Structure 1
Amino acid sequence: MTGGEHGFPGTSTTLDLQTPGYEETEYFLSGTATSYERDGAWTSDGRWGVSAADTAPYRTRLLVRAPRNPADFNGTVLVEWLNVSGNSDADVAFPYMYDEIVREGYAWVGVSAQSVGVNSEGGASTVGDSVMGLKNWDPARYGDLVHPGDEYSYDIFTQAGAALRAARGVDPLPGMEAEQLIAAGQSQSAFRMATYANAFQPIAGVYDGLIVHSRSGISAPLGAQADAPAPQGPAGPDAPSPVRLRTDLDVPVLQMLSETELFELGGGAPGTRFVDARQPDSAMVRTWEMAGTAHSDRYLVAIMNAMYQRQFEGARDLSPVLGLINDGPQRYISAAALRAMRTWVIQGEAPRSVDPIQTADGTIVRDEHGNAVGGVRTPQVDVPIAALSGQTTLVPMNGSTTRFDAARLHEMYGSNAEYVARFTAAARAAVAGGFLLEEDAELLIAAAAASGIGEPAEGSPGH
């Protein structure tokens, strides 16, 4: 699909696709979707049954970012359930995993699975009232889209995956064969992905692995959901709370959690917090709780802000908050997670289990520097230059960064050489654990060496 009033698709990325040899294209997907209702009791173990209810026609869109040369495609497609909590489609997995995607030749496909992304008329968005769904943003391009409601979203997401495996008509991945499909959703979409894993993956069998990124202790309903689900659970007062992922799937599932989800996301009431939904690792489920991270962070907000500013006239400028929020290592852990999931899918080798972040008395246990104890470890928290928190201070769900001044850093490390030595050791440990990729570790070590961190402060004795 091309043309329209704006000349580019909704949710078009501002990240560089040209240099790594990628291109962004768009396709429409149409058919008849099925809605579902619960079949039997739903309990916290996630072993949920559903049965078909109604059918309705739909026409939605797929946004594709893939290597320009099909020979560069590695065979794996990351299929993202686009997030609609900002009143329009937004991609979150793609920016977090961008480095690994373009470095290793993945294809990425964003699915407009929910009604808000297609039909929203704007208003009531934290990003600004001008943020709206595709049909109202560009009627010339998207006026023919039809979304019958979120009760059909799960089947639409299933049909999107099936179309990538075997195109119906125009092929959205021309010259490329999708050998593995990895589904992903973050935040609002992660609530949906949890419900998809528990109720739909067993009957659909389309995806080879699922990444559930930043959910709380509950999941999404079968029907409409404006943002986060009600505290009662996914489908009303008799629905389970908390919600865990079923352990009898025949495909792997990786849960990724920032500090924010442990207590805050979902309202914070007992049963809605992720700490209440913790479960031990099993053959097909792994959980990574990422120390030093927040629900969204400086890296992501900067990218999202550029996208909103380009697409929506009058969108709120988010750049003033960038210096106030978490600046943690989530992008690097996310890249490692994608590679780990691909390895798990292809080779059957599960990622290493990791202890959860330590908690006590309804909060996160922190070390002498203010960083979380336990969880996925990276050099940013083990050899810190700041206290990185996912708990809300000034900007809800975005955590905070409290940087140490030069005097404190010199006291901690004594010299840049010592800082680099410790940072390098921590980076190597993270690589060995599978939580940081070697390519990213080398870049981070080089940046540490060039930073001067650990040297005496300007004007201090010995400088």
Structure 2
Amino acid sequence: MRAVLQSALVSLSVSGLSWAEVPTTPTIVAVPPSGKAPLSSAQRRGTEYIDLARHGYVEEEYYLSGIAPAITAAGETLLQAPYTTRILVRKPIDPARFNGTVVIEPFSWFGERGAGWILTRDYLLRRGYAYVGYTLNINKPKRDPKFISEMAAEEADGIRQYGRIVNFDFMRRYDYARYAPLGTYSDPERFKRGSVADPFVPQSQAIAAQLAMALKSNAPQGPLTGLEVHRVYVNSWAVTAQVWMDYLDQGRHQQWRMPDGGPLIDAYMTGRMAYGEVGGDAIRVPRKMPDAVPFVTVYSQSELMHDAIEGIELPPDTDSPKLRYYEVTGMPHLRLADLGTEHSERLAADVGKGRDPRCQTLYDEPVEMLASALLDGMDRWVREGTAMPKAPRVARKGKSVVRDPATGNMLGGVRPPWISVPSSRYMTDQETRCGLIYDTKIPYSRTQLRKLYGTGEIYAKKFEEAKALSVKEGYLLPEDAASLRPIAKPGDF
């Protein structure tokens, strides 16, 4: 055992650091076929589907196993333990199509959703990226730490709504033979986040480092055999974004390195997660933020409203360290298009708000276009040194936001075309009290539309001008702008 633990991490000297560690390379074995598409498969009709064959891509699933430290939310390593999880790989069939970059993402607890994949899949396949999603979860415990609440009613409600889809039991129910071997260390009594049990897998950070190591090492028998990997990016949205705040805050970026001293991960993008919301520190900049790689956070209206209400100020954007925060107006926390397998959310009628006019219309604007543009900007920052744009924060007044009296929408922030030239008032649940994870919008009446724009033709012309501005600002790619249509239709006028 001593020999195993000593070989798990190898010390070396790195320029600018007194020491660093090379993570052990995990074992990667192909998952035997079971006759069913894997969870989160892009080949199965659903929220993650895309025609991989048409884009010249293939999807493969592997077991990833090794020994990894179990780390507390405070950064203390308590022990080393074995783990087995799975990775889902999407890669170009033709090596000439590969652009040298792999995007990695932990799947969400809720139905094994790949939120980052859903938001950027068209862009990734257009530009020749490889993608690796992976599972971070636990066996079904007597009390799942994801639901341990100080209020019994809240805990019971969460279990009723999500209890069937948030651990390995869900995966085994879907395909027992395929997912029965999976297991990671968990002990809610010893691992806390704030005053409650830590819902995050204690081995999360080390599993991520070992995965990046395996991908970037270009091993001859790896999951990307035949592709030459130069860069690994994180693109992690929703609850798993906290894993990356912890990773950076605890200095893992500097601690875990490639054998030549280079970084395991070359850029970090996280989105739709107010760090510290599930317990622990509500910090917005990692205390051990590296200088040389970008850390980019994308807030929807829900997250920015959370910070406004809590009085949490966001840091200024800087080029050293490479830090960007984007508060995106007109972006909801969750869309119907973002749901995972067996994942459902309550609608207005389910929470007694079926007649409330503020709760009737979910907004489902194509925010994937903005997410893709930001990922592209981060890529250029890494490869070309071209800094990403700096965006103003949403305007605050006390512990709330400032809204334009003419349009009803928030002032400041990143403003996609549907906010620059709006046809609705985009709200958050904190304001409407609709009781939904989905945010809602209040469409303008015909009278309001005519007052703002006069005619549908003028509105459409202004929308085209707003698209051109978004492209110029770096928040919309030209190829996406070509397919973006005005939100209001001629009949609305």
Could you tell me how far apart the structure 1 residues matched to 2:467 and 2:38 are?
39
Residues 1:269 and 1:416: Cα distance change in structure 2 (over 3 Å): closer
CA offset at residue 280 of structure 1?
0.8
Structure 1 SS opposite 2:378: helix
Q: Cα distance, 1:35 vs. partner?
A: 2.4
The 2-side partners of 1:137 and 1:118 are apart by: 18
| Secondary structure, counterpart of 2:159 in structure 1 | coil
| 1:183-332 equivalent positions in 2, closer than 5 A | 183-199=234-250, 200-204=252-256, 205-218=263-276, 229-230=278-279, 233=280, 240-246=281-287, 247-264=289-306, 270=310, 276-283=312-319, 284-297=322-335, 301-304=336-339, 307-308=340-341, 312=342, 316=344, 324-332=361-369
1:351 is paired with a residue whose SS is: coil
Partners of 2:291 and 2:451 lie apart in 1 by 51
**Residue 436 of structure 2 corresponds to residue 408 of structure 1:** no
- How far residue 456 of structure 1 moved from its aligned partner, in angstroms, is 7.8
Q: Provide Cα deviations, 1:191-216, integer angstroms capped at 9, x if missing partner.
A: 11111122222212310000121221
1:300-343 deviations in Å (ceiling 9; x for gaps): x2352xx52xxx4xx64778889632324521210111101111
Give me the whole-angstrom Cα distance separating, in 1, the residues matched to 2:228 and 2:414: 34
SS at match of 1:108: strand
Indicate how the Cα distance of structure 1 residues 125 and 71 shifts in structure 2: closer, same or farther if over 3 A, else same. farther
Structure 2 Cα separation of the partners of residues 116 and 101 of structure 1: 32
**Amino acid of the residue matched to residue 40 of structure 2?**
T
Match of 1:61 in 2: 86
CA deviations 1:263-286 (Å, max 9, x no partner) are: 338xx974xxxx515101112101
TM-score (norm. length: structure 2): 0.75
Establish whether residue 10 from structure 1 lines up as the match of residue 39 from structure 2: yes
CA–CA separation in structure 1 for the residues paired with 2:139 and 2:464: 45
| 8 Å Cα contact 1:259/1:291 also seen in 2 | yes
Change (3 A) 1:64 1:362: same
- Corresponding position of 1:461: none
**Is 1:104 equivalent to 2:162 in the alignment?**
no
Separation (CA, whole Å) in 2 of partners of 1:120 and 1:90:
22
User: 1:79 maps to which residue?
Assistant: 104
User: What is aligned with 2:12?
Assistant: none
Q: Secondary structure at the match of 2:274?
A: coil
Query: Deviations for 1:114-137, whole angstroms, at most 9, x for unmatched residues?
Result: 336999999926357366523443
Match of 1:28 in 2: 63
Letter in 2 for 1:197: L
Contact 1:79–1:184 (8 Å) recurs in 2: yes
Give the Cα separation in 1 of the matches to 2:272 and 2:304. 9
Q: Which amino acid aligns with 1:12?
A: S
Q: Deviations over 1:72-97 (max 9, x none)?
A: 2211111112221x2x4221011111
Amino acid at match of 1:32: I
Write the distance in 1 (CA, Å) between the matches of 2:309 and 2:455.
46
User: 2 CA distance for matches of 1:294 and 1:116?
Assistant: 31
Which of 169, 179, 204 is matched with 2:230 structurally? 179
Alpha-carbon distance between aligned partners in 2 of 1:117 and 1:285, rounded to the nearest angstrom: 37
Structure 1 residues 391 and 357: alpha-carbon distance in aligned structure 2, compared to 1, 3 A threshold: farther
Q: 1:168 to 1:28 in 2, by over 3 A?
A: farther
One-letter identity of the residue aligned with 2:269: I
| RMSD (CA atoms) | 3.1
- Whole-Å separation in 2 of the counterparts to 1:37 and 1:159: 18
> Pick from 186, 189, 203: which aligns with 1:152?
203
Q: 1:422 to 1:154 in 2, by over 3 A?
A: same
Kept in 2, the 8 Å contact 1:244–1:277? The answer is no
Does 320-329 or 353-362 show the bigger shift? 320-329
CA offset digits 1:16-50 (Å, max 9, x no partner): 12332222211111111112358xxx8xxxxxxx4
Name which of structure 1's ranges 430-439 and 113-122 shifts more when overlaid on structure 2.
113-122
More off after superposition, 401-410 vs 338-347: 401-410
- Distance (Å, rounded) in 1 between the aligned partners of 2:222 and 2:232: 16
The runs of 5 or more residues in structure 1 that have no matched partner are 43-49, 219-227, 234-239, 458-463
Amino acid at match of 1:379: P
The one-letter code of the counterpart of 2:414 is V
Displacement of 1:345: 1.1
Is 2:348–2:435's contact at 8 Å kept on the other side of the alignment?
Answer: no
Q: What TM-score comes out, normalization by structure 1 length?
A: 0.79
| Residue 396 of structure 2 is aligned to residue 359 of structure 1 | yes
Q: How far apart are 1:442 and its partner, in Å?
A: 1.5
- The answer to which of 317-326 and 286-295 deviates more is 317-326
